[in-house]
Amino acid sequence: YSIKSELEDLCMKYRFPNQYAEITRKLDDTEASRQEFIARFNAPIIEALDRDHINYEISGRVKSVYSIWMKMQRKQIPFEEIYDLFAIRIVFKPLVPFPSEKTQCWQIYSSITDLYTPKPDRLRDWISMPKDNGYEALHSTVMGPDGVWVEVQIRTQRMEDIAERGFAAHWKYKKATISQDEDEFDKWLKKIRTALNSPSENAIDFLDNFKLSLYTSEIVVFTPKGEARKLPFGATALDFAYEIHSKIGNNAIGAKINHKIEPLTTQLNSGDQIEIITADNARPKPEWLDTVTTGKAKQAIKSFLKREQQNNIERGIQMFEERMQRLNINLSGRVLRKVVPAYGCSNKEEFYSKVGAGIIRLDDLEKILKSSSTKKLLKFWTLFIPQKEREEESDDTGESPTENPVAPSAEPEFVIAECCKPIPGDSVVGFRDPKSGKIIVHKATCDELNRLAAQYGKQIVKEEIKWSQHKAMHYLSTISLRGIDRMGILLDLSKIVSGDFSINIREIAIQSHDGIFEGTISLYVKDAESLNTVMDRIRKVKGIESVKRLINA
């Protein structure tokens, strides 16, 4: 924690130097008065602890600059209104073996609250229920002299060593622990061990789940039998189900929260008592991954969905091959390239998975296979990365770079991104998929590309990716229209697109309401320049208010 605090202060010092300097100056200016206040506040506490013959140390610590600044931002208050600028810490050596550490902490708490009035909503009992990271202490905020709130932390020497030095100190006390029950650190280690042993866990997922298990803010909920369970703040009933057992989570259909039926997405609060309702035919859904917050739940859902998808793919392959045999047609890559897009799938794995799951029925398979080849989706266009050597040669000789592209690598190397669907003429950037090694090509302005660049910067392809030229290739693009409805506007649009520009319209959908029309037109165009020319011409049509290219269509 001390390293974390130091790094935060150092980051703030260079990221927000003015704010850092101002808070530091105010802390220095109030140092003398603060020390005087701490001495006055501690005097009666010291007297009470000495009277009870307690072996203790009492100290005061000031909040870090970054912590103060964050509180100012979060609560939108000035420096002067932060009441807990500092905290008093009491560390004592407990009497052994009786009474218990917990009892002695509460006795000291009682002595302090006899002197100062506590703030009820600021009591933090991490002795009865330690944090998942092993932290134990009793925190209370009391009203000190001059109407100033002061936080008081009470802990034993054992708790202090663990809090300050981490769990290396924990093992020092392990053999001397009175309780034989499994402690919080052992439970946490068991969770990490389970994640490491999971065959479906890759390095990135493991790190995400590892971070999720380091809860900084927790709630305590209860099973129907009264057993306490700790979950991160924001956890849902579904997280609780997986916390009990992955089988219960996979079969969950609802929950009784405080004896009232609620959906699985309901966020839990501390003190809630939860009973999970299950059904044998229930199955996890992909959208559950957006609902759960714990690493254990995410891992269990991903594992189930992965197994389910694999089973569906195997079943789908068998069903498709049997249907092809009945039709007396040999299965080939050409057949798959025709069938997969016809059923609205982006790849053969998705197609087989949907067939195996019963989402796709193959009743019209023969009709699709016999349909005209001109109706098939167009092939991907070729992208290439110019060879560095050729560019350097051109620079040396003063000649312009060759217009002929370098022979491209194997066709599967480039994949067009589904999020932005660039077409020839668009400025593009490549992202190398860590799993498949393929280069996924995005528009340079794509939001998804920005997110990937921030998270996986090293996977962005540094070399410029260019389009190779095709004479007779056309690409599907969709534009949206909006304007004032009038007689003949559809005829005018068709005349411009098909007549003036000789562009093939694949689909047109126009709706009119209250004198306003809006809709979409799907066109086959050669490149982005052709599309922009058509859009500029359509904008000049009487009544047209807006013309936009749909990115995800």
Average pLDDT per block of 10 residues along the chain, 553 residues long: 89 94 91 88 93 90 89 86 82 83 92 90 86 83 85 91 71 51 62 67 63 66 86 90 92 91 91 90 88 87 86 89 85 82 83 86 80 42 60 45 43 75 84 86 88 86 74 72 85 77 74 84 80 87 87 61
Residue 354, token pair as written in the block: 């949907």
Q: What is the Cα–Cα distance from 234 to 538, expressed in whole angstroms?
A: 50
Give ranges for CATH 3.30.70.260 in the chain.
475-549
First to last CA, the chain: 49
Q: Do residues 69 and 19 touch, judged by C-beta distance below 8 A?
A: yes
Pick the CATH number of 475-549 from 3.30.70.260, 1.25.50.20, 1.10.10.10, 3.40.640.10: 3.30.70.260
Which residue is associated with the tokens 């047109």? 508
What pTM, to 2 d.p., does this model score? 0.46
Smallest Cα–Cα separation from 80: which of 155, 136, 29?
A: 29
Smallest Cα–Cα separation from 360: which of 310, 311, 312, 305?
A: 312
pLDDT score at 116: 92
What's the Cα-to-Cα distance from 254 to each of 60, 219, 270, rounded to whole Å? 49, 20, 19
Which residue is associated with the tokens 């220095």? 28
Q: What is the Cα–Cα distance from 258 to 237, expressed in whole angstroms?
A: 12
Class (C level, CATH) for 215-293: alpha beta
Q: Tell me the one-letter amino acid at 288.
A: W
The interaxial angle of helices 295-326 and 203-212, nearest 10 deg, is 140
Q: What is the Cα–Cα distance from 26 to 20, expressed in whole angstroms?
A: 10
Question: What is the DSSP code string of 396-411?
Answer: HHTPPPPSSPPPP--G
The interaxial angle of helices 2-15 and 65-75, nearest 10 deg, is 70
**Which bin fits 323, alpha (ψ -120 to 50), beta or left (φ > 0)?**
alpha
Q: What is the Cα–Cα distance from 313 to 309, expressed in whole angstroms?
A: 6
pLDDT score at 184: 59
Which residue is associated with the tokens 């393929």? 438
Supply the CATH classification number for the domain 2-174. 3.30.460.10
pLDDT score at 253: 92
Q: Tell me the one-letter amino acid at 324.
A: M
Q: Do residues 337 and 348 touch, judged by C-beta distance below 8 A?
A: no
**Which bin fits 514, alpha (ψ -120 to 50), beta or left (φ > 0)?**
left
Give ranges for CATH 3.30.460.10 in the chain.
2-174
Cis peptide before 118 (omega within 30 of 0): no
Q: What is the Cα–Cα distance from 186 to 183, expressed in whole angstroms?
A: 5
In this structure, how many other beta carbons lie within 10 angstroms of the beta carbon of residue 286?
Answer: 10
Give ranges for CATH 3.10.20.30 in the chain.
215-293
Q: Do residues 503 and 514 touch, judged by C-beta distance below 8 A?
A: no
Q: Phi, psi at residue 430, to the nearest 5°? A: -100, 145
Q: What is the Cα–Cα distance from 508 to 486, expressed in whole angstroms?
A: 17
Q: Do residues 136 and 155 touch, judged by C-beta distance below 8 A?
A: yes
